[in-house]
Amino acid sequence: MEEFTTIPTLPEPETEPQSAPSGRAAWLQLTYDILETILLSAALFLVINALTARVRVDGYSMLPTLNDGNFVLVNRLAYRFGEPERGDIIVFHYDPNQQDLIKRIIGLPGDEVRAANGVIYVNGVALVEPYIAELPAYSGNWQVPAGYFFVLGDNRNNSSDSHAWGVLLQEKVIGKAVFVYWPFSQVTVLDHFELLKANQ
């Protein structure tokens, strides 16, 4: 017959029941959690606001690229870590009312811009621009000095831009428009066009 030995078991340690936190402690914890959430949200908002801007397109000067009512995300740091390029869409302060406008960079400092016979030329090179609404009906010549840009709306004949009021001071640029985020049906990344590439 097999014999079985019984292994004695140790008594379980006595545990003291945990008392529920008092009403005062619970309210203090809740208040702390709320304040922590508010402070983190505020810090996140300030960081996002320092890096980006959100603007609403008002008008039709950038058709067909941008529609009236589009909301656009703007990279404020684009030109702190990179150089502006022809074809960039930028947002800037416009005098005298300090309203913000959105246009496309056509001429960089040192460029000579000419409009003639429905074509824009930069330094004598005709631009190929698949994004414009129609060919420009105006003509003129502009020299872009150091520290300035020559900007045009994609809706060339319905845009208040450099062909009407001259070159734009670079210091007035807020940032580079990079993304349309509203309405959802028009969400898109704003492509950069190498304006002179097709002609060089």
Q: Is 61 assigned a catalytic role?
A: yes
Structure tokens at 34: 């709320």
Other CB atoms within 10 A of residue 193 CB: 20
For residue 153, the Cα-to-chain-centroid distance in whole angstroms is 18
Q: Which of 19, 103, 176, 185 is catalytic?
A: 103
Give the C-alpha separation, 97 to 46, whole Å.
Answer: 26
Tens-of-pLDDT digits for all 200 residues of the chain? Answer: 555 455 555 555 555 555 555 778 888 888 888 888 887 777 666 666 656 688 999 999 999 999 999 999 999 999 988 899 999 999 999 876 668 999 999 999 999 999 999 999 999 999 999 999 999 999 999 999 999 999 999 999 999 999 999 999 999 999 999 999 999 999 999 977 777 654 44
For residue 156, the Cα-to-chain-centroid distance in whole angstroms is 23
Can you name the CATH fold of 53-199?
A: Umud Fragment, subunit A (2.10.109)
Contact 104, 84 (CB under 8 A): no
> Which of these, 144, 155, 142, lies nearest to 101 by C-alpha position?
155
Output the CA–CA distances (angstroms, integers) from residue 144 to 40, 43, 49, in the order listed: 45, 40, 31
Is this model's pTM higher than 0.75 or not?
A: yes
Domain spans, the chain: 53-199
Q: Is 103 assigned a catalytic role?
A: yes
Q: Which of 19, 22, 41, 61 is catalytic?
A: 61
